[in-house]
Amino acid sequence: MVTLRIATFNLENFDETPNPTPFEPTLADRIAVMRPQIDRLRADVLCLQEVNGQERPGQPRSLLALAELLQGTALAGRNVVSTEKANGEVFDERNLAVVTSLPVTARAQLLNDLVAAPVYQVLTANPPALQPQSIGIERPILHVELDLLGAPLHVIVVHLKSKLPTDITGQKLDRFTWRDAGAAAEGSFLSDMKRMSQAVEVRRLVDQILDQDPDARIVVAGDFNSTTDEVPLVAILGNVEDTGNGALAGRVLVPLENAIPESARYSLFHHGTGYMLDHLLVTRNLLAHYRGTEIHNELLHDESADFATDKKFPESDHAPIVATFEFA
């Protein structure tokens, strides 16, 4: 019997801090808190979001802070696949990554590849927008194919657009303050378009994989910035109640947090309320091997406190999630 643990964790802007302010934790401060979280996951496949890249003179930007976090854990020195620029360097901020002990057989990233960016003319820009513009996605989707006991395991990592309104030219007094409520509303509309573009691209990728292999084993993991009853997740899950087509039952994705009691089912706190925004979704064929889910949220702080006090926390404001499977 082979036990496989698959986890997802938004590390929240994980980076070095060369000149930290009095209210900003250093990388060492963050590692002291977060390395035990990584150890506790005992993950064979770890899907990560918000992993920043670092530079050294004469070397390409790479995930040096992540490598330091993994030192001394069971994942140190394991395979790392991440999002990257056209030149092969990682992005400055908010990379997606898969760290795994399994062999990697293929990788790809998608950014408006299966869904064309919508075109929209902004109403509240100052000066006014003269023509429609493309509303593109900022963050790609990462698709990694792993070898699990001689057969493929497709791992798709996502970080959907946040619910914060998209900036509109001339409508912000500072990072969080809008000049006009209507502009803020339009900014939210733009963010919704981006989030839904990503959701449709994820769903189309899943269907593309299943078109090629109806028995494909697929995991979709990450920070969806949506609960399961919100439109982006509804679109990705493809429940029969929503498609109205029982013939598509084999294409439904299952949120593994459903095995957790509702009172403990949250991965982020905001103004005292817990929300399940991070998910592990799997194809039904993996349920035969599924043994349980854990959400490590015992010490999760209220992320809105960051803005109330301007004091940053060394830990992430997201809880890691891990699911266990057994294969004969």
Per-residue pLDDT of 310-327, as tens digits, reads: 568 899 999 999 999 999
Contact at 8 Å (CB) between 93 and 124?
A: no
- CA separation for the pair 137, 135 (Å, rounded): 7
Query: Model confidence over 146-192: pLDDT tens digits?
Result: 999 999 999 999 999 999 999 999 999 998 899 999 999 999 999 99
pLDDT band at 307 (very low <50, low <70, confident <90, very high): low
Res 26 pLDDT > 90: yes
* Per-residue pLDDT at 265: 97
* Cα 77 to chain centroid, rounded: 22
Read off the pTM. 0.95
* Per-residue pLDDT at 45: 98
Query: Model confidence over 62-107: pLDDT tens digits?
Result: 999 999 999 999 999 999 999 999 999 999 999 999 999 999 999 9
CB atoms within 10 A of CB 59: 10
* Angle, CA of 9, 11 and 14, to the nearest 5°: 155
pLDDT mean over 109-117: 96
pLDDT band at 53 (very low <50, low <70, confident <90, very high): very high
